[in-house]
Amino acid sequence: MSSGIVGGKIAANVVMDWSVNDSYDNGTNQSLRADSDPKPGTVMNTIISNIDLVDTELRSEEKGSTVLMSKNRKKTMTSVYLKYFETALDGKSRRCKICGQSYSIATATGNLGRHLSNRHPGYDKIGDFANSPTLQLVTVAKKPPTHAKLPSMELDHLNWLLIKWLISASLPTTTSAEKWLTNAFKFLNPSAELWPVEKFQTVLFEIFRSMQEEVRLMVEQVPPKVSVSLDFWTSYEQLLYMGITCQWIDENWSFKKVLLDICHIPSPCGGPEIYYVLLKVLRLYNIESKILSCTHDNSPSALQACHTLKDDMDSQKVPAFCYIPCAAHTLNSIINDGLSTTKSVILKIREFVLELNSSKEISDAFVQFTMAYQEGNWKFPLDASARWSGSYQMLDIAFKAGKSMETVIRKYEEQLGSRLLLNSAEKNVVKIMHKYLEPFYKTINNICTNKELTIGLVLFFMENISETLALCKDSRQSPDWLKSAAEEMCIKAQNYSDQVCNVFIYMTAVLDPRIKLELIPESLNSESYMEEARNHFSRNYSSRYFPSIPNPYSTTQELETDGSTSFAEEIARKKRRASLNSATDELTQYLSEQPAPIQTDVLEWWKVNCPRYPRLSLMARDFLAVQSTAVPPEDIFCSRGDEIDQQKFSIPHRDTKALLCVRSWLQSGIKLSYKSTEIDCERIVDLAAASATESSSRSFDRKQKG
């Protein structure tokens, strides 16, 4: 028998074999019309399209002519595939002579050709198996399904996308070794290979080094003065870390900030260790002589480190360096003292709120009752965090929706328990504390939502808090337990006021056009501070527009004592004096004008008015960048802080510096780079999507041609 005839018989029987199987599966005895085209989209058509047929037509061996079979007739179960299988002794199954795989006779016919094509490609060239019941078993690996290939490039696309995800989610590099993550990628593309954890760690560190160099070059180009702020936290490994952030205002009057570094503070984690690490970072970025202020988190160790740094600056004759306590940490500590008296009541309300958040049935009932009792609208899930925002909302719910709360607890008493019901004394505490803390709520809300939280504005808010505390402490209507709490709160408020009472803070406050002299706290409003501010302005900003002329305070006396003063020197002296007078006039004119409205955009105001105050605006650019808080206020007062703390807490030491720094730099708009080469992850995604679309299109075209 010739190979062409064999090929024709195999092709014919392949089609007949699949058709018979399809009839059996549907429980019918339908016959196949050989001259009818298979319908696109059917299972039969899909399967047949994956088989490499030797001949696609049904041929007759008689007289070597081709005859199309047009009559409908019942097909027999004979198939050329049967010679590759043997019938089992029970007569109910067939077993492959090549690999031993068994199939039930009831469904075997439809599976024989598929089995041979997938498991034993080239089976028809092995020889005649009809008289060879005993065969040497040969197993051929099953071909994997065809997948769209990842686009080729110098670097591995999939791994770069994965490392971008790890950075964005603040996940440790060991996440890449998770079994199910690897399996998921294998499922999508069996050819995908993930880097080992060690390579992820190495690449992440190289990214950190490359991007840090970009940050260093950027900071070198900033204006003459910058400010820094310090943030501290302890990880799950009980290691203390310090984050150092730099702030400044650029020539377009846009506020800028960038994370410089995250450093581990070595044991014993005191002031000297913090000072040493901080100084090392300042020198790395070459801003030791540029630093104007340092805002810390109020901890004793940070305070000691900043004091040592100021001594260093004074010894180097760096003008006007100052360290500032964080207003947000201070205010949070003050509030915690007040909330401590109602801790047990707040815990009871929080337990109720957590039940509301976890049960849609209970929360729906609560909403219905609040509507019926007209006790306000409440958006779920409610903030139940232990921070200020959550604690005040507990009091707010119990005060404004107390009747609905009690009704819900009684309705679901079996599930919630009567222990959550507030007694009359607890309700009275809620009423008193809600009224007492309402000014704090409004103040903190303004602090968290204000885009330009200058020193002057914070002092304005803190003075209002101090007045509230004084009224409560001296009021005859306040209960003794509240007076006691107010006294403790007053002590911390006064301590903050004492730390910020200096000429540096005075200059920073008056340069806010919303504050000036009218709204500055009384503790700062003194003639001595005004005189020192004028002197500082004259010494450091009056000759900024005359760079070729020496500083008047360093050369004037020498010129006056020299009897042989040249004509050029006399002209220079006149210009310096005119510059001093002009600078003083600028400050005087600025302070004599009415303050701008509180809602004024401070930087925009200075951008518009800098032509009127060319020298004073230079000073404003330096001082308005000074931070009143070490971290964004919402990180301290709102539930967002819990998420940030959890992320920082759970990162292992090996990844902390690189992971958190790179993430912050990406959020600041700095491009992801590796060994000075930009890695465009968005472009990688676009290329992969385009490649997958092209591959799918080619596959569709092949099927259509087949």
The residues, ordered by sequence, that sit 6+ positions from 235 with a Cβ below 8 Å of its Cβ are 241, 648, 649, 650, 651, 652, 653, 656
Predicted confidence (pLDDT) at residue 145 exceeds the cutoff of 70: no
277 versus 585: the higher-pLDDT residue is 277
Assigned token pair, 212: 């840090």
Of the ranges 53-67, 155-169, 445-459, 655-669, the best mean pLDDT one: 655-669
The pLDDT tens digits for 323-364 are: 999 999 999 999 999 898 899 999 999 999 999 999 999 999
pLDDT score for 412: 93
Least confident stretch, 144-158, 159-173, 502-516, 629-643 = 144-158
Instruction: Find out whether 193 and 220 touch, Cβ atoms under 8 Å.
Output: no
The pLDDT tens digits for 294-307 are: 999 999 999 999 99
Average pLDDT, stretch 453-466?
92
Which pTM value belongs to this model? Answer: 0.71
Least confident stretch, 63-72, 371-380, 405-414, 533-542 = 63-72
Instruction: Find out whether 421 and 403 touch, Cβ atoms under 8 Å.
Output: no
Least confident stretch, 124-128, 318-322, 589-593, 606-610 = 124-128
The pLDDT tens digits for 202-214 are: 999 999 999 999 9
| Cα–Cα distance measured from residue 506 to residue 521, given in angstroms and rounded to the nearest whole number | 9
Average pLDDT, stretch 121-143?
50
Assigned token pair, 706: 């087949």
Angle between helix 527-541 and helix 567-592 axes, rounded to 10 deg:
140
pLDDT score for 126: 56
pLDDT score for 375: 94
CA distances from 692 to 127, 163, 182, 193, 687 (A): 41, 21, 20, 18, 9
The pLDDT tens digits for 553-582 are: 333 333 344 445 555 555 455 444 444 455
Strand partners, 242: 232, 263
Average pLDDT, stretch 484-494?
93
Least confident stretch, 171-175, 424-428, 478-482, 578-582 = 578-582
Least confident stretch, 184-198, 473-487, 518-532, 543-557 = 543-557
pLDDT band, residue 622 (cuts 50/70/90): very high
pLDDT score for 692: 62
Q: Classify 325 as helix, strand or coil.
A: strand
Strand bridging mode 102-104 / 226-234: unpaired
pLDDT score for 477: 86
